[in-house]
Chains A and B, each alone.
Chain A
């Protein structure tokens, strides 16, 4: 329902092509039903979830720092990343490894990042993609600037950027939307509305009926999509990317999902939300939904499921080993990429750091308490 009293209607239809029970909508095109691609989406979402489980257990056993799981939000990252070309640019937030993995980020890179090692953001693939962005919403204007650069150079590339529901309350988000609207930059903004900004629920973030309608004030198209429906996410993002690529300017997409896990491993969501509601949300999650559809189409079997889990577990184990056996960092790493060339005034500081170099990553033997 829009705001009828004010004389305008901002209502946006929610795009859903796959119901929570796995029934496909009549509105789904033949290309949207491409089984081979849907199997690929299924594999990618499962791979992310198995990684997340492992990452959390690594954190719980002291082998990883604070980690932000994508549990329940896999469809947004996979659906969006699958709509991008390799040459396009991803400007992520910090919970977007479903998309990053799809674009070729190694799991070991993700683990290095959360394990406290800058080398995790030196991606082997998709080297134009931005690193994770922790200060909420600050990535949004950067995405606009990146898109402006691609547009100015007449490169056939677009930018896709993610933000959370909480991030849409931030001034940087509004400034970015506004600038993108004025300049018609080739950028697609995707809001992963998972209902929670740590402990702050969606209704305390905004009185707007939808977050997608924030597009209206910036003069751009807004769409709302079921973010647990990978088919719909892919369709809506693909259209927005096509539009951006052909000079049609930016789009804001609100993808409705639910944060099934804690905000991060440092959070305990049971302090502020009802476990019953979370249990109910499990009936809507994206992986079971797509599996139900694939099984109903005869495109997925128990054997395939078992093989997929085995393959993912093996990959995760390999990547965890690569992470745990990464070459040690020495203190020079703090200095070597600070500037293109280290200024003379920093040379002695690098020397001093070397002189007092810690004998192990734990800092023992060095006077730290």
Chain B
């Protein structure tokens, strides 16, 4: 066992999946010799060959479409979209085909593919490199949408995603790629794709978050503990299908809920979480639900991105508001 980063965990899971199933193959821009712009596929072409680690032409819609065709023929393609800002041309193939191939052929053809993409702001990247598109995909029936927040969860969730018989959108927070290391055993053990993870227990308020906002939320939990407020931190991890029950059980216990995400607020996935709580646990609430999110603005370029991404202070402030509300 060794301590590795999140991006190394992605690499480890891909290598594991390719080693155990010859139908798994990777495709994307610069993923071969170069090992991907973030090095997520580093060394895999040398190990598994050019036919299984394919440097594609620069065409995101085409990459997704090719992956759909491969998957329908029984391969298990893992396609990389280089940055989330370039994922939009691929959405046509994802919503019109990947997500519904099984349904429209009554299970005759299926689409066991993974579309991986880095996402989120905070690494001083150029324009169109900092998007958080998870809510768009979460709206599409037939998909799974996964957002890892630690090396161990990246490894286990990605393995599960590759092995899953249906299409998975796997959104990797770039800011976490090398933020911290964690011991990850390459044991081939996957994590469930239909469960939230309770990262920290607490009785005073539930904070629901995912992806890049998990470290900030955990830091906020430390700060709040100094004030005597114990928050329960839930990493949603798999946004679709959403493990609502875990969230409801926590909110029923704490009576307070803050939802934290980096994506813009309006019609963000936090709205879905809030609506589920409002529909099914309203009478457990001691205070109104609070969302701490990115603003409804275009995600700014590097100079202002720290003003945009929800900070530890904003999360702490959000929790204080729900604590004071009753």
Q: A residues bordering B, Cβ < 8 Å?
A: 89, 91, 118-119, 121-123, 127-128, 130-131, 133, 135, 138, 140-150, 152-153, 171-172, 175-176, 178-179, 182-183, 337-340, 343-346
Contact = CB atoms under 8 A, between A and B. Distances in A.
| A133, A142, A179: most-surrounded residue (chain B CB, <10 A) | A142
| B25, B59, B164: most-surrounded residue (chain A CB, <10 A) | B59
B106 A175 contact: no
A143 B69 contact: yes
Nearest to B71: A145
25 contacts: A91-B69, A119-B106, A121-B106, A121-B108, A122-B108, A123-B108, A130-B72, A131-B104, A131-B105, A138-B65, A138-B92, A142-B97, A146-B69, A148-B69, A152-B25, A152-B51, A152-B75, A171-B61, A172-B62, A172-B92, A175-B65, A176-B66, A338-B142, A343-B241, A345-B244
Given A118-B104, A127-B108, A138-B93, A149 B75 contact: yes
Contacts of A176: 62, 65-66
Contacts of B89: 171
Interface string B24-63: 0100000000000000000000000001101011010110
Contacts of A338: 102-103, 141-142
B258 interface: no
Contacts of A182: 57
B100 to A, nearest CB: 8
A59 B101 CA distance: 26
Contacts of A183: 54
B242 interface: yes
A141 B73 contact: no
B70 A179 contact: no
Interface string B237-253: 00001111100000000
Interface string B95-136: 011000111111111100000000000000000000000000
B194 interface: yes
Contacts of B106: 118-119, 121-122, 337
A346 B89 CA distance: 28
Contacts of B288: none
Nearest first, the 10 A-B pairs at minimum CB distance are A145-B69, A141-B65, A175-B62, A343-B241, A142-B69, A145-B66, A149-B73, A122-B106, A146-B69, A340-B165
Give the interface size class of chain B.
35 or more
B242 to A, nearest CB: 6
Nearest to B245: A344
Contacts of A337: 102-103, 105-107
Contacts of A123: 108
Contacts of A340: 102, 110, 164-166
A122 B104 CA distance: 8
B212 interface: no
Contacts of B142: 338-339
B67 interface: yes
B74 interface: yes
Contacts of B242: 345
B77 interface: yes
B319 interface: no
A91 B66 CA distance: 12
Contacts of A122: 105-108
Contacts of B93: 138, 141-142
Given A123-B108, A149-B73, A345-B194, 9 more contacts: A142-B65, A145-B77, A152-B52, A153-B75, A172-B61, A179-B57, A339-B102, A343-B194, A345-B241
B68 interface: yes
Nearest to A342: B241
A146 B292 CA distance: 44
Given A122-B105, A135-B92, A339-B166, A175 B69 contact: no
A183 B74 CA distance: 19
A175 B61 contact: yes
B68 A142 contact: yes
